[in-house]
Structure 1
Amino acid sequence: MRSGNSAKPTRPWSTWTGAEVNLAAAICAAQFAVAVAVWWVGTFDDDDHGAGLGGGLAAVGLLCVLVFGPPLLAALGLLHAVTCTMPAATLARLTRRRAPGPGPGPEWLRHIGLVLLIGALWSALAVLLLGLAPTGTEALLLCGWGVPPALGVALMRRRERATGHPPDGGRVWLRSALAALGVCALVAAAGTAALATGLIHAYEPPKLGADRLTGVWRGDHGAVLRLNAGGRAELSAVPAQPEFGDVTTKEFTRCDGVGKWFLDTAGRYDPYADGAASQRRDGVVVRVGDCGHDTYWTIGGTEAHPELFVLFGDPDAGDLRVLRQD
């Protein structure tokens, strides 16, 4: 008779069943869809910097979302399942086998604890390698992202023991998609209602006087714009409208030197200004001799953290440049 110790050890990944991976991926994919819907509602009070998809491009964008969104969400769900949910499930099972006595609690509870630990490790790795700086809420969400899939796996195992067979993979994905669609619709409806009733206020750009605009503004690639009292402007590598070409071109030049600036409170000099006057935004016109055309820097941001931005090219797919005050 062969002893129990002579049996071939089970490979850790052999504890993963196709049904469990499938369920974890489907639940996580649904979470991603709901997260996108919540993020979208959260942009209702953000400054779009004059950009956006309109007309035919909006229809094309929606079509791309409908066609490529589901497989992308499924791929993200599968990636999360094989990098977080299922490794945690394996560790939870191995911990139970190696623990003496009754073991450190139910397997599903250890699974959740290990999911939180692995989520924290991935979050820390993202901070170290990608330079991300998540807020406390974002860090908590990143760590706890695998909890619903872990609970789903635990529930599936209980039902499998009771019925003797795992759930059908097609039904799992269909139910996940329907649940995600329903929750996303509720989130979108709630956000729209909150915007209509004033619970969420649409973005309004700050009203800044010339004295508040005076100072140093900095952007990417070393861009520095100094707006001095009296209308004098000093520029260093500041983007400007090209001398030749129309307003729809993405290309721009970078200016160095001294010029003039003034505040436009009616949007008269905004090359993109059209429609009702109420939709026009204040901005700063910067003029520099021998360096392109006048550049209209629209005022954005907030009272506490103002911005100056210009969108080079078509508003549907332009090149956005932003300056922030020191």
Structure 2
Amino acid sequence: MGWEKTRGTLPDTGPTWAPDDLSAAAALGGAQLPAAGLLWWIYDSTTQDSYGAGLGGALGALCFLLFAPFLLPILGMLSAFVLTLPSVVLARLAGRRLPGPGWVWHVVAPVGPALFWGVPACVLFGWPLGTAVPALAALGLLPTLWVGLARRRGWRQWGVWWRAAVGSVVLFVLAFGGGVLATETGLIQEYEPPKLTRAQLAGVWHGPSGAELRLHPDGSAEAVKLPAQPPFDDDHFRDYVVCRGSGTWEPDDDSGGTERDGVLLKLDGTCGEDTFWSIGGSEGAPELFVLFGDPDGGSLRILKPTRG
């Protein structure tokens, strides 16, 4: 690939980076983000519970693409300082002191910054280490190789940026095709809500702001600060009302139009209409949820079972 030739023909910058390296790192660092974002969206929307939301984040993605020409250079510069340039320095240090082709160290080097940032991210935000580190390393891989390629070819800054722009389109198309293929072939498993029996549904479910729903095995129910569908003649156009009282419940197979099993709750009195709570979550951590109001921007309320 000419990496050894590069060492002999370019000025010796030592274990550091030059201004042209920063430009190349920022160019491809930003150029790859639309493809990376698309892959993340495909994976997240396929494997995670959307809770009946209409567009599943697609509207936000369209807004991002609209402002991409302004955001990508800034994000590319950030990724250059955080991931790419440290990887370039590590690769050059390894190439000077260890045997092997230069491109190998450019492939391996992004693991270092990925570990440096990935471990604190896991501690602070609870991200899985096995996901955060490979994802960060992948984001640093192509720009690190791109810096070496730009140095070897001697591209000027405008040449680096227009090639990165073309590469961005190519990467986006490849990401779209790969994502669709992965979902259609089952490589990315589609989310399936758990199947809960009547006995599993019975119990105490709690939610934010002190919301509580008690489902008794005999079909009776008690609610405390529980969101419910507003009355049909509600003049305030509220997404939901908060109710307290008793009523009845029964398992239901999609009377709420969510294509899921759930619980149909009927509270006594005049507070709220019958409310269908859909089943979500997983087998080990089931949930009941309702998306009140507009499916594209409504109020999501989730109940979780009380353990012990």
Q: TM-score, normalised by structure 1?
A: 0.71
Question: Considering only aligned residues, what root-mean-square deviation do their CA atoms show, in Å?
Answer: 3.8
Q: How far apart are 1:231 and its partner, in Å?
A: 1.5
Preserved contact between residue 250 and residue 319 of structure 1 (Cα < 8 Å): no
When residues 41 and 114 of structure 1 are mapped into structure 2, their CA distance, relative to the original with a 3 A threshold, is closer
Partner of 2:263: 284
When residues 246 and 311 of structure 1 are mapped into structure 2, their CA distance, relative to the original with a 3 A threshold, is farther
Q: Secondary structure at the match of 2:271?
A: coil
Partner of 1:239: 227
CA distance in 1: counterparts of 2:238 and 2:21, whole angstroms = 49
Structure 2: state its 5+ residue gaps: 1-12
Partner of 1:19: 20
Partner of 1:123: 118
Pair 1:209 & 2:197 matched: yes
CA distance in 1: counterparts of 2:118 and 2:182, whole angstroms = 32
Q: Secondary structure at the match of 1:84?
A: helix
Could you list the per-position Cα deviations for residues 210-253 of structure 1 after superposition, in whole angstroms to 9, with x for gaps in the alignment? 22311232333443322110112233333223347669956433
Q: How far apart are 1:136 and its partner, in Å?
A: 0.9
Structure 1: state its 5+ residue gaps: 1-11, 97-101, 161-166, 274-278
Could you list the per-position Cα deviations for residues 16-37 of structure 1 after superposition, in whole angstroms to 9, with x for gaps in the alignment? 5432112111222233222222
Q: How many pairs were matched up?
A: 289
When residues 178 and 157 of structure 1 are mapped into structure 2, their CA distance, relative to the original with a 3 A threshold, is closer
Q: How far apart are 1:173 and its partner, in Å?
A: 2.8
When residues 152 and 200 of structure 1 are mapped into structure 2, their CA distance, relative to the original with a 3 A threshold, is closer
When residues 142 and 91 of structure 1 are mapped into structure 2, their CA distance, relative to the original with a 3 A threshold, is closer
Partner of 2:65: 66
Question: Which of 144, 149, 159 lines up with 1:171 in the alignment?
Answer: 159
Q: Structure 2: which amino acid aligns with 1:172? A: V
CA distance in 1: counterparts of 2:236 and 2:198, whole angstroms = 29
Q: Percent identity?
A: 42
Q: TM-score, normalised by structure 2?
A: 0.75
Q: How far apart are 1:262 and its partner, in Å?
A: 1.8
Compare CA radii of gyration and give the structure with the larger one: 1
Q: How far apart are 1:81 and its partner, in Å?
A: 0.6
Pair 1:153 & 2:155 matched: no
CA distance in 1: counterparts of 2:217 and 2:199, whole angstroms = 7
Could you list the per-position Cα deviations for residues 139-176 of structure 1 after superposition, in whole angstroms to 9, with x for gaps in the alignment? 2322453233222223333333xxxxxx2333323322
Structural mapping, 1:1-326, within 5 Å? 16-42=17-43, 43-53=45-55, 64-87=63-86, 89=88, 104-105=97-98, 115-129=110-124, 131-143=125-137, 145-160=139-154, 167-196=155-184, 202-243=190-231, 249=237, 251-267=239-255, 270=256, 273=257, 280-288=259-267, 289-325=269-305, 326=307
Q: Secondary structure at the match of 2:84?
A: helix
